[in-house]
A and B are shown apart, each in its own frame.
Chain A
Amino acid sequence: MPETSPTRSNNFDGWLDSYSERAHTLSVSEVRALFAVVSRPEVVSLAGGMPYVSALPKELLAKAYESMMAKKGDLAIQYGGGQGDAELREQLRDIMAIEGIHASPDDLVVTTGSQHALDLVAGLFLDKGDVVLAEGPSYVGAIGIFRHYEAHIEHVFTDDDGISPVALQEAIDRMKAQGRRIKFLYLVPNFANPSGVTLAKERRPQIIEICQREHILILEDNPYGLLYFDKPVPDALRSMDDNVIYLGSFSKILAPGFRVGYVLAPPALRDKIVLAQESALLCPSMFSQMMISEYLSVADWRKQVDTFRGVYRERRDAALDAMNEYLPNLRTTKPDGGFYLWVTLPEGIDSKAMLPLAVKELVAYTPGTAFFGDGTGQQHLRICYSYPTPERIKLGIKRLATVINLQTELIETFGKKK
């Protein structure tokens, strides 16, 4: 034995006793680590919700860049206002009008992706233990934020027509009976992440009516609405009620690398969002905002969105065809836009527990548990078809079928696990 120094205790985090309670909600996960293999070309990733940015001609961006720098280069590399660039907010009015929203640019705040808008709004409203109502399943990035603010996420039954008004009322009654304080209803009404479903037109006024009656704020998150395949989505909930907080994004209709999103909110709340944003960031990136503003001016951005629709439609078809061919007995949603299929697995299979086997078979997906704040969702998984080519989607789903068959055999060998 070599000579040693005196015993030293080490937990590799000298500030462990100093963290806020919130910080303890953050830890590494085995699932996250498994996703590290996704970057290897051998693995077909049906996991991450990445837009296919290769379908965006880079000349369009180069043209916007040159024009922007020539006209307002100094402004683009300077600090800006906390509410965001005024010209871009004017342009956003036209984009929102496509989904029936007629609002003043003065009520808009540009943010660092709509994810930051979500964080700002959550920070303004949520205290520990407050209730957030959400679709079941719901967007993993929103769940992460709500958890970080130590909110209780109450999922509301959602079917192929979106969130159920009946189930929403039941959830509200249940929470009220428990004496809990509901802060808002979070919704992704169009081609939802992860389910791919769209809230039916006739349900929209019902949801609004319930929330108005119960004095519950609606947070409408709409990154996918313009990416429809066959017919435009129904008008936004915000178009029916000025009190709805509306989140939009350029991540899916342009590119996520710019990190530009926006939030439309009633004036009093807008002011608070601006103050919160200034406190956190001073201002969103002027460079990104002006690039996008110029792109909207000099490029035919609507045609580009059409191009994206065509790409994603082809990939959705490839995914559904492959599901029919290799996994015909599994139930999947059939989205009319967006990026995702939501698959229900045979009884007894836990998609999170199965993921290591999938990685071994060189395919990755997102386990259903990621989309629930209450630990459920084991029997589901999300397939994202936006990024891989149709051929790779087919190969990935073929591999997924092998994985599911192997896991089914294993489960049958040992009986149902639960």
Chain B
Amino acid sequence: MISKSKSKSKLKIQILAGGISHERDISLKSGRRVADALLEAGADVIIREPDENLLSNIKKDKPDVIWPCLHGAGGEDGALRDILALTGVAFVGATANGARLAWDKSIAKVLVSRAGIQTPASVTLPKETFRELDADGVLKAITQTISFPLVVKPARSGSAQGVSVVKKADELARAMVDAYVYCDVAIIEKFVDGTELAISVVDLGSGPIALPVVEVEPVSGRFGYQERYTAGETNYYAPARISRAVAERAAKVALDAHVALGLRHLSRIDAIVDKKGVVWFLEANVCPGMTETSLLPQAITAEGSSLSSVYLSIAEAALRTR
């Protein structure tokens, strides 16, 4: 069990939710859920938009801890975290540098790879590359090296927005366009056939621990935006229906990735285990979803803890590691 908060004092927590990213809607829902849990834990909670009043609201609210529940650009790219660091107020989650490294999936893949973690073969290209070179030729060269099926995704985006699974060559151009509308850099990655896993990591100050692995089984076979946020469209298994050995390997991948990227307090590592039992790192989330269908809250519940108690402990850990 995650160690529980013993605090009797009323922690004042400002939650930042909303923002202007493509994931604003999810952020608002995450923020509301985290606020509800923290209120239940007895904290003094206020939800704020990260808008032109950000700094004045921090001055006015005088929070002990700020909890950014901001998914997507702005919340996860490090910019806001740099600003929060300037205010001197403790905040939950990765530092600006950690967030930057994790937010860009192509950089995260390089770093975890160096730490000995397996990640699917991929090529990362800005759209200018295709404009300047012969697009058909570049795509052909890629598919000669990485065979179909492929996954095309924006290098910096979340909630599976702009992600396509490409099974044959004539689908690739469209997938590239769909990725580039979200981000100027796209990753073309080898598709790994297997079981999708989400491993949440929590660090309350005495080192990161991996929570029970959650298995994701979308009814349609694809874990896209709709499947993530429509109740009933995905079956989740917590803990995952995998052997203890695979679960331990998945936990190790998550912990190693969390450390390699320099993350803190909480993260969620998305991975896939193939039919041979190899766990492949896909991406790290420094501000994982906290909605009613999100994976980190499921992992906490599967571990036997209450959301309110764990969230309060995370906020207290943030206060200690200011």
Tell me the bound Cα distance from A356 to B130 in angstroms: 20
Beta-carbon contact of B51 and A28 below 8 Å: no
- When distances are taken between beta carbons in the complex, the residues of chain B under 8 Å from A9 are 235-237
Q: Mark B90-133, 1 if CB is under 8 A from A, else 0.
A: 00000000000000000000000000000000000001001100
Beta-carbon contact of B226 and A43 below 8 Å: no
- When distances are taken between beta carbons in the complex, the residues of chain A under 8 Å from B130 are 413-414
Q: Mark A164-181, 1 if CB is under 8 A from B, else 0.
A: 000000000000000000
Instruction: Please report the total number of A residues contacting B with Cβ < 8 Å.
Output: 42
Tell me the bound Cα distance from A417 to B174 in angstroms: 5
Knowing A42-B20, A417-B173, A417-B174 are in contact, say whether A28-B229 is a contact too (CB < 8 A). yes
Is the CB of A30 closer than 8 A to any CB of chain B? yes
Beta-carbon contact of A12 and B231 below 8 Å: yes
Is the CB of B55 closer than 8 A to any CB of chain A? no
Is the CB of B89 closer than 8 A to any CB of chain A? no
Q: Mark A339-378, 1 if CB is under 8 A from B, else 0.
A: 0000000000000011111011010000000000000000
Tell me the bound Cα distance from A359 to B72 in angstroms: 13
Beta-carbon contact of B181 and A5 below 8 Å: no
Is the CB of B204 closer than 8 A to any CB of chain A? no
Beta-carbon contact of A410 and B25 below 8 Å: no
Q: Among A10, A27, A40, A410, point to the contact of B298 (Cβ < 8 A).
A: A10
Beta-carbon contact of B293 and A8 below 8 Å: no
Tell me the bound Cα distance from A407 to B181 in angstroms: 8
Q: Which residue in chain A gives the minimum CB-CB distance to B239?
A: A4
Q: Which residue in chain A gives the minimum CB-CB distance to B235?
A: A11
Tell me the bound Cα distance from A28 to B233 in angstroms: 10
Beta-carbon contact of A36 and B25 below 8 Å: yes
Knowing A2-B212, A10-B298 are in contact, say whether A16-B232 is a contact too (CB < 8 A). yes
Q: Which residue in chain A gives the minimum CB-CB distance to B210?
A: A1
Beta-carbon contact of B26 and A13 below 8 Å: no
Q: Among A7, A28, A360, A410, point to the contact of B239 (Cβ < 8 A).
A: A7
Is the CB of A70 closer than 8 A to any CB of chain B? no
Knowing A8-B302, A11-B236 are in contact, say whether A1-B25 is a contact too (CB < 8 A). no
- When distances are taken between beta carbons in the complex, the residues of chain A under 8 Å from B26 are 33
Tell me the bound Cα distance from A9 to B236 in angstroms: 6
Chain A nearest CB, measured from B182 CB (Å): 5
Q: Which residue in chain B gives the minimum CB-CB distance to A36?
A: B25
Chain B nearest CB, measured from A291 CB (Å): 32
Beta-carbon contact of B182 and A7 below 8 Å: no
Beta-carbon contact of A411 and B177 below 8 Å: yes
Beta-carbon contact of A29 and B226 below 8 Å: yes
Is the CB of B135 closer than 8 A to any CB of chain A? yes
Is the CB of B176 closer than 8 A to any CB of chain A? yes
Knowing A2-B303, A8-B238, A353-B181 are in contact, say whether A414-B298 is a contact too (CB < 8 A). no
Knowing A12-B293, A27-B226 are in contact, say whether A36-B28 is a contact too (CB < 8 A). yes
Is the CB of B241 closer than 8 A to any CB of chain A? yes
Q: Among B24, B292, B293, point to the contact of A37 (Cβ < 8 A).
A: B24
- When distances are taken between beta carbons in the complex, the residues of chain A under 8 Å from B178 are 353
Beta-carbon contact of A356 and B181 below 8 Å: yes
Is the CB of B141 closer than 8 A to any CB of chain A? no
Q: Among A4, A354, A418, point to the contact of B181 (Cβ < 8 A).
A: A354
- When distances are taken between beta carbons in the complex, the residues of chain A under 8 Å from B232 are 11-13, 16
Is the CB of A34 closer than 8 A to any CB of chain B? yes
Beta-carbon contact of B304 and A1 below 8 Å: no
Tell me the bound Cα distance from A355 to B161 in angstroms: 12
Knowing A4-B302, A33-B25, A37-B20 are in contact, say whether A356-B161 is a contact too (CB < 8 A). yes
Is the CB of A209 closer than 8 A to any CB of chain B? no
Interface residues of A in 204-256 (CB under 8 A from B): none
Knowing A1-B247, A11-B231, A28-B230 are in contact, say whether A414-B181 is a contact too (CB < 8 A). no
Question: Which among A10, A37, A360, A409 has the greatest number of chain B C-beta atoms within 10 A?
Answer: A10
Q: Which residue in chain A gives the minimum CB-CB distance to B154?
A: A356
Chain B nearest CB, measured from A352 CB (Å): 10
Tell me the bound Cα distance from A30 to B212 in angstroms: 29
Is the CB of A415 closer than 8 A to any CB of chain B? yes
Q: Among A12, A43, A414, point to the contact of B173 (Cβ < 8 A).
A: A414
Beta-carbon contact of B234 and A11 below 8 Å: yes
Beta-carbon contact of B247 and A10 below 8 Å: no
Beta-carbon contact of A409 and B131 below 8 Å: yes
Q: Which residue in chain B gives the minimum CB-CB distance to A418?
A: B174
Q: Mark A386-418, 1 if CB is under 8 A from B, else 0.
A: 000000000000000000000101110111011
Chain B nearest CB, measured from A215 CB (Å): 40
- When distances are taken between beta carbons in the complex, the residues of chain B under 8 Å from A300 are none
Is the CB of A59 closer than 8 A to any CB of chain B? no
Knowing A2-B211, A29-B226 are in contact, say whether A353-B248 is a contact too (CB < 8 A). no
Tell me the bound Cα distance from A33 to B20 in angstroms: 12
**14 A-B residue pairings within 8 Å (CB atoms):** A9-B237, A10-B237, A11-B234, A12-B231, A28-B229, A29-B226, A30-B226, A40-B24, A359-B22, A407-B177, A410-B177, A411-B177, A413-B131, A415-B135
Chain A: residues with CB nearer than 8 A to chain B?
Answer: 1-5, 7-13, 16, 27-30, 32-34, 36-37, 40, 42-43, 353-357, 359-360, 362, 407, 409-411, 413-415, 417-418
Chain B: residues with CB nearer than 8 A to chain A?
Answer: 1-2, 18, 20-26, 28, 51, 127, 130-131, 135-136, 161-162, 173-174, 176-178, 180-182, 209-212, 225-226, 229-241, 247-248, 251, 292-293, 298, 302-304
The 9 A-B residue pairs with the shortest CB-CB distance, nearest first, are A36-B25, A13-B232, A12-B231, A13-B231, A414-B173, A33-B25, A357-B181, A4-B212, A36-B24
